[in-house]
Amino acid sequence: MTTIDQIRDNRIADVRPLLSPRALRSSLPLAADREDVVARGREGVAAILTREDDRLLVVVGPCSIHDPDAAYEYARRLQVVATRLNERLFVVMRVYFEKPRTTLGWKGLINDPGLDESFRVEDGLVAARSLLLEILSLGLPVGCEFLDPISPRYIDDAVSWGAIGARTSQSQIHRQVASGLSMPVGFKNSTEGDVQGAVDGVGVATSAHVFAGVTEDGTAGVIATTGNPDCHVVLRGGRTGPNYDEASVAKTLGLLERSGQSRRVVVDASHDNSGKDHRRQSLVVAEIARRISGGEREIVGLMLESFLVAGRQDLVFGQASALSYGQSITDACIGWEETVTTLELLADAIGERNARVIARKA
């Protein structure tokens, strides 16, 4: 006779208890000054999306975080530049802890903080939240991609901008999660280049939903959301090629308008928009800057993959000590010096656009 043990969990190797979101937030709380950074970050992004703020949103940082020390050094440098260019750019640091994979590979700091396939997820959550608090202490708002539907409960109170990635924009559960997130959320077009799925994701996330999820105490619960009005499309190119050109942007804006959504997009200068060549991000930025200086206002933001050292390096699991400091182990990034000149170029473009507006009013 078949027993319950023979038909249940046949392919589950191990189940480990995980601390609750409430427990982690209590042990690593947001102090009042950090709460203020998060709130101002969310308000700033939302104001840019609604055109109440004519600055350009720039989400910039490493493809993924694997070394919190290097990430914090990057944040310290970025804060200085962000403050200097604050009148024209609203800078949010890209701080991605979960890495979606097309096939196999390292899945990010939360999943495998030891970079050795030990999968100490609880340690990863602690490391992720700790780094967020350190960056917020600098006064710099952060942006994260939410890949796992449970992990946002542990860190979302510290995040000012969120992303639903190219591989999950058409996922019903991710759209529902986004509908309840407290920050603006960008939906990327698919890896194939389909934009309609991202447009649909924005529409779905704007609406209210009820779904099964995890409570603050880590138990199963029914989550009811009110909908997120600050969702938007992120164009990242696809297998068919880039989609940051004027015709592709105009097509996306038309899709949004026909779907009853606001005409606004963020352009990701990396991924397929740069042919997955970090050295071509500058070409994307130069083209967007040219259009912004000429008066373009419906491209409200830009994303860049950037780190201390240009390029990328291969990770050998269990040999993290052999890695070069400040260089990506996932997608290749532009280096620090190029990051500064790129941000300055975008700030100049906003300045030129503003000057045109003033001249027209004179």
C-alpha closest to that of 307 among 331, 334, 271: 334
* Strand, coil or helix: 57: strand
| 214 SS3 class | strand
Determine the pLDDT at residue 1. 57
- Reported as type and span, the H/E element at residue 304 is strand 299-305
| Per-residue confidence (pLDDT) for residue 206, from 0 to 100 | 97
What pLDDT score does 4 carry? 62
Residues 172, 175, 181, 186, Cα dihedral to 10°: 150
* pLDDT tens digits for range 157-171: 999 999 999 999 999
Domains of the chain (ranges; CATH) run 16-361 (3.20.20.70)
Rounded to 5, what percent of the chain is helix, strand, coil?
A: 40, 15, 40
Average pLDDT over every residue of 204-215: 96
What does the pLDDT read at residue 358?
Answer: 81
Q: Locate 339 and state its tokens.
A: 């990051």
Percent of the chain with pLDDT over 90: 92
- SS3 category, 143: strand
Classify residue 190 by its DSSP letter.
P
The answer to whether the beta carbons of residues 189 and 236 sit under 8 Å apart is yes
Distances (CA, A) of 37 to 119, 153, 189, 311, 335: 31, 19, 29, 31, 26
Residues 74, 34: Cα–Cα separation, whole Å: 18
pLDDT band at 100 (very low <50, low <70, confident <90, very high): confident
For 325-362, what is each residue's pLDDT tens digit? Answer: 999 999 999 999 999 999 999 999 999 999 888 888 77
pTM over 0.85, yes/no: yes
